[in-house]
Amino acid sequence: MNYGTSYFGSRIRDHVYRDLKDIKDSGFDYVVHTYSENDWMYYEKSMREIVDDTKSLGLKAVLDPWGVGGVFGGEAFSYMVYNQSENNQLLSTGKLLPVACFNNPNFRKKIEDWIISVAALGGDEILWDEPHWYIASWFIGQEEENGTWSCACNYCKKKFQDLTGNAYPEFYCEELNDFRENSLIDFLDHCIQVTNQKGMDNAICLIPPQAYSAGIQNWEKVASIKNLNRFGTDPYWIAHKQDVEPYVTQTVSVIKKLCKKYNLQEQLWIQAFTIPGGRENEIEDAFKIMQSGNVNDIGFWGYNACTHMSKLRPENPDKVWGIIQKVIQNDVHFIKTLA
Ligand SMILES: [Zn+2]
C-alpha cells in the first residue's frame, strides 16, 4: 500500500523539513511537491534542497507542473501566458486566452525545459496533474463562453487541416472534439516520453468528466500511452458536487479496470480541502471504498488538510487531518501485524 500527500506553501528549508518529517512519521510513502512556474523561476535551488530532504527521509519525491501554462491543475499563476502570449490558446471568437496551447511547438519546448529542471532537482516522478483545455469558469463566468471553444490558433488550424484534409470547422463538431482530445493526448505522450528518457517515472491524474468537460473523455487512450507508470484521477466528491457513494465506487471500478488492462499502478486522490463542517467522516468513507476496491496507491490533497491556504482550508482542518492520519496509521499497523 502506498500513501501520498501534496505539499505547497513554504519553501523555507527547515520549516519544510519539519513538515516532511511529520509526513514520514504519519506513514506516508511519497510527497507531491508542486513545482509552479514561480518555483521554477525563483526557487529552483531551494526545490533541489527540498527534494534532497524528501529523499533523505525515505520518501519518494514527485513533482507536479502546478498551473504551468495554465493547462494543469493548481492554485498558481502562469508567467509564460502573459510573457509569451503568442503561445496561448485562442477562443473560437479570436479572443486571446490566458492558457498555453498544446499544439504550439514553443509551449512544448517550455514543457521540455520544465521536465529537464525537474530531472536536475532529482525528482523521482512527475505527476501530470489534471491536464485540460481552457476552462472558462476558472477565469470568468461560464455563461460568457457558451457556444465558444478553444483552440482556434494558427497551429491548431493548420494541424487540423493536415490531419483531416478539411478546413477548420466554423462550429463545434465531433471531428473538432476528437481533434482536441487527440491533441492533448499527443502532448501528454510527448511529456511522458521526455520524462522517461530523463529517468523518471510518470503518473497521471485526469480530471473527471463529472467535474469538467475540458479534460480528456477517452481515458483508455491515455492509459495506453507507453512508459506511463501510474494512472488515476481525483474524484473530489464535494468539489464536484457528487455523493461520495456512488461517485468514488464508480471511479475505483473504472480505474482498476483500465490499470489491469494496461498493466499500470492505479493512483486515486482523496479530497482533503474545503471539507464543510459535519462532513469530515466522508473522507473515511472514500478511503474505505478505495481500500475495499484494492486501490494500492492513495493520495490525499493536501498536507495538513491545506490549513495554511485559506481558499482551500476545511471548516475543521484539524479534524480532517486527524482522520487521515488515523486511517493511514491503522492500515500501516495492519500491514505490520500481518508481516
Ligand atoms: Zn491552438
CA neighbours within 13 Å on the CB side: how many for 177? 8
- The maximal CA–CA distance of the chain, rounded, in angstroms, is 64
Phi, then psi, of 287 in degrees rounded to 5: -60, -45
Nine cell digits for residue 96? 486571446
Cα 158 to middle of ligand 1, angstroms: 9
Quick one: DSSP state of residue 15? H
Cα 261 to middle of ligand 1, angstroms: 32
Cα 156 to middle of ligand 1, angstroms: 4
Q: What's the count of helices (H) and strands (E) in the chain, helices before strands?
A: 11, 10
> How far, rounded to the nearest angstrom, does the alpha carbon of residue 176 sit from its chain's CA centroid?
25
Amino acid at site 235: P
Cα 211 to middle of ligand 1, angstroms: 23
Domains along the chain? 2-78+97-141+181-338 (3.20.20.80)
Nine cell digits for residue 179? 481533434
Q: How confident is the model at residue 239 (pLDDT cuts 50, 70, 90)?
A: very high
Q: How confident is the model at residue 210 (pLDDT cuts 50, 70, 90)?
A: confident
Residues flanking ion ligand 1, Cβ below 5 Å: 101, 103, 151, 153, 156
Strands (E), the chain: 2-7, 30-34, 60-64, 88-90, 96-100, 125-129, 201-206, 230-233, 265-271, 297-301
**Total residue count of the chain as it appears in this document:** 339
pLDDT of residue 143: 54
Distance of alpha carbon 303 from alpha carbon 272, whole angstroms: 8
Cα 71 to middle of ligand 1, angstroms: 12
Mean residue pLDDT of the chain comes to: 95
The average pLDDT across 112-117 equals: 98
Cα 98 to middle of ligand 1, angstroms: 12
59-107 confidence digits (pLDDT tens): 999 999 999 999 999 999 999 999 999 999 999 999 999 999 999 999 9
Contact in structure between 326 and 288 (CB atoms under 8 Å): no
153-191 confidence digits (pLDDT tens): 999 999 999 999 999 999 999 999 999 999 999 999 999
- Measure the CA angle with vertex 111, ends 220 and 57; round to 5°: 85
Cα 126 to middle of ligand 1, angstroms: 24
Cα 97 to middle of ligand 1, angstroms: 10
Cα 150 to middle of ligand 1, angstroms: 7
